[in-house]
Amino acid sequence: MYGMSYGWLLLMVVSLALGGLTKAYINSSFRRWSQIPLTSGLTGAQVAAAVLESNGIRATGITIVATDNNATAPHVRVQQVGGNLSDNYDPRDKTLNLSEGVYGVSSVAAAGVAAHEAGHAVQDAQGYFWGRLRSAMVPVANFGSSAAWVLIIAGVFLRALGSISQGMILLGVIFYACAVLFQIVTLPVELDASRRALTSLAGTAALDASQLGGARQVLTAAALTYVAAALIAVLQLLYYLGFLRRD
């Protein structure tokens, strides 16, 4: 039990360090480029609309910069939500949700974040495989991450009391492995969304060359948070697998 405690403490220190460093980096990058206004004067919502429409998707809910008025094209509603960096795309109701610091703000950082979320909407419209796989895995990953802790902790406790608990620990590890797989599948989805965002931005007049480099830095910082999350999840899985090898 002491070995488990020390191992868990080391894992928590590494996890907190990775999480804290990546969060600090993305916050620093976002703050820096939030101070740089776009030469085009477009807001985050308008940038998102431009990215959507350059990929044949109608943007609704805002004043559109340029539209093809194609009523048969897929559409996405762009709207503002509360919170800081709470931006997301919801494929269930086709809404692109931009935070207060992005929606109505004209800055390089806002443009990068908005374009990234628009990239997810493009993935959805085009049936991107990894995006569809991740969406299908959400219920399993949510259940697995919550159930795993209960089963593993209960199994370790029962084993300490001399009860047979290896099967319970194994089941918990399997559930947690599903959550880890979700984190891994998330990586190509997020990287592809950023790639689509930068490609679309390069084809519009929303950002000049130097500002496009700033948007790339913001998106790179965001990508590192997903890499760190996946690495932490894998380390935790390896730690849990160690329980199965103990007598």
Q: What is the full per-residue pLDDT of the chain (247 aa) written as tens digits?
A: 444 567 777 877 888 888 888 888 888 998 999 999 998 999 999 999 999 999 999 998 875 544 455 556 788 999 999 988 899 999 999 999 999 999 999 999 999 999 999 999 999 999 999 999 999 999 989 888 888 878 887 877 777 666 656 778 888 889 999 999 999 999 999 999 999 999 999 888 888 888 999 999 999 988 888 999 899 889 888 888 877 765 4
The range of the structural domain enclosing residue 187 comes to: 2-244
Task: Report the alpha-carbon distance of residue 56 to residue 247 in Å, rounded.
Answer: 59
Task: Report the alpha-carbon distance of residue 59 to residue 229 in Å, rounded.
Answer: 31
Annotated catalytic residue within 53, 100, 117, 190: 117
* Domain count along the chain: 1
Task: Report the alpha-carbon distance of residue 51 to residue 114 in Å, rounded.
Answer: 9
Query: How many Cα atoms within 13 Å fall on the side-chain side of residue 203?
Result: 13
The verdict on whether 190 is a catalytic residue reads no
